[in-house]
Structure 1
Amino acid sequence: MREYRVKTIDSLARGLQVLQVLQEVRAASLHDLHLATGIPKPTLTRILFTAYRHGLVWQRMVDGAFLPSHTLQRRMETDDGEWLVEIASPVLGELSQRLQWPSVISVPRLDYMETLETNSSRTYFDALPPRPHGFRVNMLGSASGRAYLAFCPQQELEAVLARLRLKKDPAYRLAQDDAAVRRMVETTRRRGYSVRAPDFGGDHDRPRSEVDDGRESIAMPVRVDGRVVGCINLTWRRQALSLPTAVQRHLEDLRTAVRTVEERAREAGLGHG
C-alpha cells in the first residue's frame, strides 16, 4: 500500500486488534481479551458491542465467550458446530423468554453427543447448574442422542452403531440389541421427537439407579440438506412436570425453535459439505 500522510484511527486500530485476537483464539472471555490486548474492559465492551451490531462477533450463552462470526467466512466445515451455535443461540434465547425450562443444543461426535450451548442461565426456575460447553452426552440414553440416531441417514446410523457395539461398558448395551434399536428408531420417527431411555439419569456411563439428575427431556433434530447437524432438547425436573404434560405444553415451542434454526441456516447457506 502506498504511504499516506495521515494519522491512523486509534479506536479503529483497537477494534481490529480485538478481532484479530478472536480470529486467532476462536473464543475468549472479556478478561481473556483484556489480558491479550491490554485494552481496558469498558473500552473492550464498547468495541465488542459495536462489532456485534455489525455482525462481526457474537457471544455464546453457555460460558459468555465472544467468538468471531462464522457467517462472514466463505465456507463452513461440516464438522465445526460453532456455525450452528451462532445460528441457534439467539433462538434458544428467545425460547427461554417463553418457557421456564432450559434447552441445550448438542452435535454428534462419532459415538457421543457434545453440548455446545444452553440457555439454562436465562431460565428462572431451573436451579440445576447448566451443562458446560463440551459436555459429553451418552448417545443411546439421552433424548438428544436418540433424536440424532432416529433421524440421521441410514448409512450414518449403521456406522455409529458399529462403533458403539465395540464398547463393552453397560452404557452401550443397547447397541448390541438390533431389535431394540430398531423399535427405538421407529417409535421416535413416528412421534417426531425423542425421549430419554428409561434408565438414563444424565450420567454418560452409569444408569439412573446410580446417578439421577432428576430431569426428563425431549429432543428434536436440526436437519440441513438432509443431514442431522445437531439436536435441540427441552429438559425439566420430573417432580415438577410429567412427560405427557411437558409434551402437551411445550412440544410446539420446541418444534418452532428447531424449524427457525433450520430456516436461518439454509438462508445463510450453511451446513454444506
Structure 2
Amino acid sequence: MLKENRSLDRGIEILETLAREGAMSLADLHRATGLPKSTIRRLLQTLIARKIVRRSLADQLYRTLLVFPDISTEVMPKGMLQVADAAIPRALALTKAIGWPSDIHIREARAMRIIDSTRQVSNFHVEQGQINRRVSHFGSATGLACLAALSDGEIAATYEALKSDLHWGPVRFGLDLPALMRRIEEVRARGYAERLPAHLSEREWDTDLRAIAVPIRAGAQVLGGLSVLWLRTYKSVPEFAELHLDALQQAAADINAGLDQVWDSPPGLSTSA
C-alpha cells in the first residue's frame, strides 16, 4: 500500500505541476518536481492512457486535461480531447498524402483555438504553430468555415455578440453584417473558407502562409475546423483548392464520422474568452 500511495502522490504532483505551469516537456517536469525521468515517463504513460494528460503532436509537450480551480491558469476547453483524438490521425494521413500541414481548431465563444497541428511532420518547412493560440472567427479560414456551417440566425447572433469587441469582433476586418453574409455565401458556394488578407490573431503570425479550411462537426453541432496551410509563393488559393480540396473535405468527413461515434450529447464547448 505504501508503494501505491507513493505512486499516487507522485502522479498528483505531476498533474499539479502541469496545471500550474502549463505545457511542459519531460525535462521540464524533471526539473520542476525532482522526480526521476523514468518515474515521470511511467506515470505519464498511465495518465495518457487514462485520458488525464495528453501529449500534443505539434510541440511534443504534455498538458493536463484536468482543471484545478486554485491552480490552473486556463480553463480546459470542453470536448477538446474528443476532437483531438478523432482529428489527429486523419490530419496526419492528410499531411502524408498532400505534404502540406494541417491545423486543428475548436470553436469557442469569442475565437477559434488551435489544439494541435501536423506542421512538425510536414514535408515542407513552415513556421511552427502555437498550441492554444486563438484566431478570429471573422478573419481566419477555420472561423469563417465554421460560421458558414451555421444557420443565418446563428451567424447573426455571433456577429451581434462580438460586434463591439475591438479585438475579436468583425470591426477589425471592416465587416458589417451584410458584408459578412456575402462572404459566407461565397464560402458556402466554394465549399471551403480562406483566411482574409488582413487576418490577425493574438499577434502577427504565419504572414507567409495561406490557408483554406472546412468545418468539423458531430451531428448538427459545429465543433471546429480543419485547415491546410501552404507558402504564399507556392500557389494561389483557387489553384491550391483545385489540387487538394477533395482530400481536405474527405479528411473532415472522416473526422466527423469518428466524432459521431464518441461525442457526448451535448457537452458544449467552452465559452471562455
**Scaled by the length of structure 2, what TM-score is found?**
0.76
State whether residues 17 and 32 of structure 2, in contact with CA within 8 Å, keep that contact through their aligned partners in structure 1.
no
RMSD, aligned α-carbons: 3.3
Please name the residue that 1:190 is paired with: 189
Where do 1:10-29 residues align within 5 Å? 14=7, 17-18=10-11, 21-22=14-15, 25=18, 28-29=23-24
Task: Tell me how far apart the structure 2 counterparts of residues 167 and 140 of structure 1 sit (CA, whole Å).
Answer: 12
Please name the residue that 1:133 is paired with: 131
Q: Which amino acid aligns with 2:137?
A: M
Partner SS for 1:125: coil
Task: Tell me how far apart the structure 2 counterparts of residues 159 and 141 of structure 1 sit (CA, whole Å).
Answer: 17
Where do 1:1-273 residues align within 5 Å? 14=7, 17-18=10-11, 21-22=14-15, 25=18, 28-29=23-24, 30-35=26-31, 37-49=33-45, 52=48, 57-67=53-63, 79-83=77-81, 84-126=83-125, 128-167=126-165, 171-174=172-175, 176=176, 178-197=177-196, 199-200=197-198, 202-204=199-201, 213-270=207-264, 272-273=266-267
**Scaled by the length of structure 1, what TM-score is found?**
0.76
Q: Which has the higher contact order (CA 8 A, sep 6+)?
A: 2
Residue ranges of structure 1 left out of the alignment (5+ in a row): 1-6, 71-76
Residue ranges of structure 2 left out of the alignment (5+ in a row): 67-74, 268-273
1:251-270 CA distance string (max 9 Å, x none): 12211221222222221233
Partner SS for 1:14: helix
Task: Tell me how far apart the structure 2 counterparts of residues 218 and 241 of structure 1 sit (CA, whole Å).
Answer: 12
Check 1:106–1:250 CA distance in 2 against 1; reply closer, same or farther (3 A cut). Answer: same
Please say which of residues 137-146 and 148-157 is displaced more in the overlay: 148-157
**Count of aligned pairs:** 252
Q: Which amino acid aligns with 2:251?
A: A
Q: Which amino acid aligns with 2:172?
A: A
- Structure 1 position 81, deviation (Å): 4.7
Check 1:67–1:116 CA distance in 2 against 1; reply closer, same or farther (3 A cut). Answer: same
